[in-house]
Amino acid sequence: MKGRLQDKVTLITGTGGGQGRAAALRFAREGAIVFGCDFNAEGHRETAALMEAEGFRLYGSAPLDLGEHEHAKAWIEAAVAEHGRIDILYNNASAARFAPVHEMSIEDWHYTIRNEIDLLFYTTKYAWNHLARQGGVIINVSSTAAWGGSRVAGIAAHSAAKGAVVSFTRQLAVEGASLGIRAVSISPGFVATPGTREFLENPKARAMLLDGVLLDRPGEPEEVVALAAFVASEGSFITGSDLVIDGGLLAI
């Protein structure tokens, strides 16, 4: 039985763990050809091993710094050289630094902008003409930080970058419509990943992070990825939208 994404060449950034790993596994199970990358070579290899255990293959390379536009271009070109086309670009990878506005260093501000919006622009720029050849989908991962402030101090740079992701995605939808390119952003709330486990194991930190989350639990990477898989397959009338998946955080 064929999957919903059978033979779709899918480029996923940040496949070394968390949502990127979950995405690689889910999209492969849906029949996609998954071409990944990560700055973390060991994590990328672990994901490849998990996929191999299920009979799948993770293409791509690591370590790779998508914040360097030459690296992003080379990654895109490698995918096209190996598979002939790009059907889906799933911009998942990001990295941020946190501090209150008055304490944040200029270096940390630029680090966050570089690793949450610049790298997304680079991959999109170099994939655009390939996506336009037969139409395709761009999925950009934003955050509820794009839509509201937080009592957890220190997310100003992160909020600014993720707000830019939402706006950038809307413009991509406008520019891509006549070319058959759909563009959608997804804004998760707090999600349980290896990187957030430390906070979840601290009762005080957990309570603060889940304050206002109606379902009173963090999201799981697989839940976010399930939404992305729908966008890439049955969600053919969705473009230019930001889809919030936050356990009810923004409902209040």
Which H, E and C letters describe 178-222, residue by residue? HHCEEEEEEEECCECCCCCHHHHCCHHHHHHHCCCCCCCCCECHH
- Quick one: pLDDT at residue 217? 94
Distance of CA 171 to the CA centre of its chain: 18
Report domain extents, the chain. Answer: 9-193+221-238
In one letter, which amino acid is 206? Answer: R
Tokens of 100: 């209150």
Q: What is the pTM of this model?
A: 0.96
Specify the amino acid at residue 227.
L
Predicted confidence at residue 82, as pLDDT, reads: 98
Per-residue pLDDT of the chain (252 residues; tens, 9 = 90+): 689 999 999 999 999 999 999 999 999 999 999 999 999 999 999 999 999 999 999 999 999 999 999 999 999 999 999 999 999 999 999 999 999 999 999 999 999 999 999 999 999 999 999 999 999 999 999 999 999 888 766 999 999 999 999 999 999 999 999 999 999 999 999 999 877 888 788 888 888 889 999 999 999 999 999 999 999 999 999 999 999 999 999 998
CATH number corresponding to 9-193+221-238:
3.40.50.720
Could you please report the per-residue DSSP string of 138-183?
EEEE--GGGT---SSS--HHHHHHHHHHHHHHHHHHHHHGGGTEEE
**pLDDT at site 199:** 79
pLDDT on residue 227: 98
Distance CA 194, CA 89 (A): 24
DSSP category for residue 13: E
How many other CB atoms are found less than 10 A from the CB of residue 107? 9
CA of residue 113 relative to chain centroid, distance: 15
Q: CA-CA distance, 225 to 12, in Å (whole number)?
A: 11
